[in-house]
Structure 1
C-alpha cells in the first residue's frame, strides 16, 4: 500500500509543481522567444484550461482502460510533453505543447486518488490520502523558489527539463508497483455530455482566471465566456442527472456525506487558492520582495501543511473527516484574521509564525473533507467521485482567485495596505463559509453513524 502511495505522489507532485514553476519564468520565456506579454501569458493560461478539459474524461477513461493504465499513460505523456516544451522554438509551439502537458496533468491527480481509494479501502484512506496531500500542497509552495533558483543560473528550458528525471523515476516505479485496474464497463462515451462540460468548464475557469491575470477587470472578454461556461455546466448537470449512463454520475450527490464533502472541498478550494494568489502579491507589492524572496517567505506555509498532514490523515481515519475538517476550517479562519490588521511593517517573525499555523490549519481542513467524500462511495464509484471533487476544487480555486483579484484591483489605487487588509477580510469570509459547510459535513457523518448503530433488542 505504501509503495503504491509513494509512487502516486510522484505524479501529483510533478503536475502541481509545474503549474507554479513555469509562471516564474514567463518574462524570460517571452524575451528569448520574442513574444509579447499577452502572447507569453498563454503559456500559463493554456495549461490551466487544458487541466480543466481533461478532468471530465478521467472517470470514463479509467473505467475504459483501467485506472492504473490511465495514470501511467498520463504520466508518460506529461513527461514527453515536458521534453518537447524545452525544445519549442517559438511561442506558438510552446503554447500547443503546454496544452498537451496540461491535458495529461489533469488526469494524474484524480486517477491517482482512484488508485489509492480502490487499493486501501475506507478504513485507511485518510492516512494514505494525507501522503498524496503532502505532494499537492508542497509543490506549489516550493515552485516559485525552485523556478527562481533555476533561472538565476540556467535557461528557461530547465523549467521543463526538471520534470524529466522525476517523470522517469515515477514511470519506472509505476510500471512495477501500480495496479493496472480492470478495463471495460465504461460503455459508449457520452459525446454530448463531454461537449457541454468539456467546453463549459474551461470557459468558466478561463473567465475567472482572466480576472486574476488582468488585474480584476470585468468586461465582455470575461462575462461572455463566464456566461457560456456556466450555461454549459448547468445543462450538463441537468442532463447527467436524468441519463442512465452519463459521462459523470452526478447522482452521487444523493449520498449526503459525499455531497457535504465535495461542497466543503469547493469552498476550501476557494479559500486555499485565493490565498495562493494573495500571499505572493502581499510580499511583492506591500513588502517589496523579489520572486526568490517571496518563494522563501512562503515556504513556512507549505511546511506547516506537510508537518500536520500525516496527523490529519490519522485523525480522519479515527474520528471521521467531518470533525477534523471543521476544526481545521475554524483554525484557518483564526489564522487569516490577523492578516487583515497587519501592515507593510509587520514583524517578519510574526508573519512566518502565522503562515506556518495557517498551513497546519489547511492540512486539517482540505484532505479530511475530500477523504470523507471518497470513503462514502462504493469502489466502482470512485472514478466519478474523484473526478467530481477535483472539478469542484478547480472551480472553487478559480472563484477564490478571482474574488481576491477583483478586491485588490478596485482598492489598490486608494492604498496598498488598505487594499490587502480588505482582501484578507474577504479571504476570511470564504474560510468562514468553508467552516460552515464542514460543520454540515460533521453533522451528516454523525447522523449516518447514529443510523448505523443497531438498536438493542
Structure 2
C-alpha cells in the first residue's frame, strides 16, 4: 500500500499507522520523562550524575544493540509477532523500573525497556516506509517525526507533573497502561505477515558478540571518565582498548560474511552514509539537549522538575512543527537544501547557548531551545526520506536498522557527554557551556554531511533505479 497523491489514506492504513506510532512513541515519551528526573533520581538513590546518566544511556544502548538483531528476527518470525514481543518486553521493563529498589536495579530494568524499544523502533520505520513507498517517503517520515517529537514536548511536562504529585516511580508505571492499550490494539489491527525470503538466514552470532559489547565498552569509557574526572586512568583506557578491538574485529568479520548483522557495504551506496551520519548527529544533539537543559534550569535557576519541563518543552514543539513541513517539502525539492538550512539554524542556536551568562533572561534560553528544535526538525525527515528513496526495496529493513541504531547510539553518546562534562566542570554554567561547544562542533560536522545528501527527487529516483 502507498499514499495517494492528496495524502488521503485508506482507513485500514490510517488505523495501522496510528497503532504503529502509539507503540513507537512509548520509548520516546518514557526517555524524555526520565530526562527531567535525572537530578531527582540522583538525589533519591544518593548517586552521581554519571551513574544515574546510565538510566538513560543504558536504555539507549540497549536499543542500539537490539535493533540489528530485530532486523534478522523480523525476517525470521514476521513483523507482527516481533511487534507484540517488543511491547511485552517493554511492559515488563516498565513495571520493573517502577518497582526498582536501588540505582543498579533501575538501570537493569531500563536496559530491559531498551530491549523492548529496540524491537519496536526499526519495525516502525520499516512498516511506515513500506506503506509510503519512495514517492512519499519524506511525507510519512515527517508524520512519524512529528508524532514522535511529542515525546520532547509532553515528556518533560508530564515528567514534571508526575514528580511533583505522584513520585518518581510513576514516571515508569504510567507506561504500563499505555503499553497494554498498544498491545490490545496491535493484536486487533496488525495483519499476520509471512516470514520473508531471508528467513532461512542464520543469526550472525559472532556479529552480535562483537558489536554489542563494542558499543557498551565505548560508552563505559565516558562514564568512567566522568566518575574519575580524567581520561588517563586504567578504568578508562581498558574499556577504550576493548571497544576499539571489538569494533575493529566486527568490521573485519562483516566484510567477510555474506549476510552480517549490519552490512558495512551499505555505506558505499550513494547518500546512505550521509543520511545515517546526519541522523546519528541529530540524535546526539537532541538527546544531549533534553538532558542538559533541565539540569541548567534546575541547578542554575533553582526550578523544580515541572517548571524545568515546561521551559524545555519548546524544543520539542519546534521539532514537532518543523518535521512534517520538512518531510512534505523534501518530497518536492529534495533533502539536501532543507537539511543544510535546518543544520545552519541548529548550529547558530547551539553557539548561542555558549554565550549564556548568569544574567541572561530565561526567555532567551527558551527561544534558543525552540530554535534548535526547529533546526533539528528540518534535518531529520529529509535525511530519513532520502535513505528510503535511494535504497532498493529489499535493503530497506537493513537500512532502517542501521539508521535507527546510529541515531540511538548518537543519543547515547550525547547523554554520556553531558554527564561527563557537567560532572567535571567547575560549576553548572561552565559545564553547560562545555556541552554546547561540543554540540556546536558536532552540528558543523552534520552540516558537512548534509551537503552530500541527494538533491531534487528526479535525481533520487535515478539513483534508486541504478541501485537495482
* TM-score of the aligned structures, taking structure 2 as reference length: 0.85
1:330 aligns with 2:330: no
Q: 1:111 to 1:300 in 2, by over 3 A?
A: same
In the alignment, which residue of structure 1 is the partner of 2:202?
Answer: 188
Contact 2:78–2:195, Cα closer than 8 Å, also in 1: yes
The answer on whether the counterparts of 1:252 and 1:258 sit within 8 Å (CA) in structure 2 is: yes
Corresponding residue number in structure 1 for 2:123: 111
Paired residue secondary structure (1:68): helix
From the superposition, tell whether residues 379 and 175 of structure 1 become closer, same or farther in structure 2 (CA, over 3 Å).
Answer: farther
C-alpha change, 1:404 and 1:234, in structure 2 (3 Å) is same
Contact 1:21 1:143 in 2 (8 A): yes
Please tell me whether the aligned partners of residues 404 and 427 of structure 1 are also in contact (alpha carbons under 8 angstroms): no
Contact 1:5 1:128 in 2 (8 A): no
Distance 1:375 1:191, change over 3 A: same
Residue in 2 that maps onto 1:197: 211
Change (3 A) 1:3 1:220: farther
Are positions 1:37 and 2:47 aligned together? yes
SS in 2 for 1:71: helix
Deviations 1:132-186 (A, max 9, x none): 2134333144323322311322244322221122112222222233344431423
- 1:376 match: 390
Match of 1:360 in 2: 374
State the shift of 1:93 in Å. Answer: 5.3
| Counterparts in 2 of 1:298 and 1:216: CA distance versus 1, 3 Å | farther
- Tell me whether 1:350 sits opposite 2:364 in the alignment: yes
Whole-angstrom CA distance in 1 between matches of 2:411 and 2:288: 7
Pair 14,55 (structure 1): closer, same or farther in 2 beyond 3 Å: same
Counterparts of 1:68 and 1:216, CA distance in 2: 46
The one-character-per-residue Cα deviations of 1:60-85 (angstroms, maximum 9, x if unpaired) are 11111112321222012212332344
Cα pair distance change 1:84/1:278, threshold 3 Å: closer
Distance 1:450 1:64, change over 3 A: closer
User: Partners in 1 of 2:134 and 2:461 — Cα distance?
Assistant: 14
Pick from 154, 157, 160: which aligns with 1:148? 160
Give the Cα–Cα distance (whole angstroms) in 2 for the partners of residues 75 and 329 of structure 1: 34
Matched positions, count? 449
Q: 1:196 to 1:17 in 2, by over 3 A?
A: same
Query: Which blocks of at least 5 consecutive residues in structure 1 are unaligned?
Result: none
Aligned 8 A contact 1:248 1:384 in 2:
yes
Map 1:153-302 → 2, pairs under 5 A: 153-184=165-196, 185-186=198-199, 187-209=201-223, 211=225, 214=227, 217-218=230-231, 219-302=233-316
Residue 65 (structure 1) aligns with:
77
Say if 1:312 and 1:364, in contact at 8 Å, map to a contact too: yes
Distance (Å, rounded) in 1 between the aligned partners of 2:434 and 2:92: 44
Preserved contact between residue 13 and residue 136 of structure 1 (Cα < 8 Å): yes
C-alpha contact (below 8 Å) 1:337/1:428 kept by paired residues:
yes
Cα distance per residue 1:232-276 (max 9 Å; x no partner): 122212221221121222221121121221122222333333323
* CA distance 1:439–1:161, shift in 2 (3 Å): same
CA distance in 2, matches of 1:315, 1:211: 43
Residue pair 1:50, 1:99 contacting (<8 A) in 2 also:
yes
> Any residues of structure 2 matched to 1:300-311 within 5 Å, and which?
300-311=314-325
- Give RMSD over aligned pairs: 3.1
- Among 420, 442, 449, the alignment partner of 1:437 is 449
Task: State the alpha-carbon separation in 2 of the partners of residues 126 and 447 from structure 1.
Answer: 15
Q: Which residue is 1:426 aligned to?
A: 438
> Is the contact between residue 35 and residue 291 of structure 2 (CA under 8 Å) also seen in structure 1?
no
Q: Compute the TM-score of the two structures, normalised by the length of structure 1.
A: 0.87
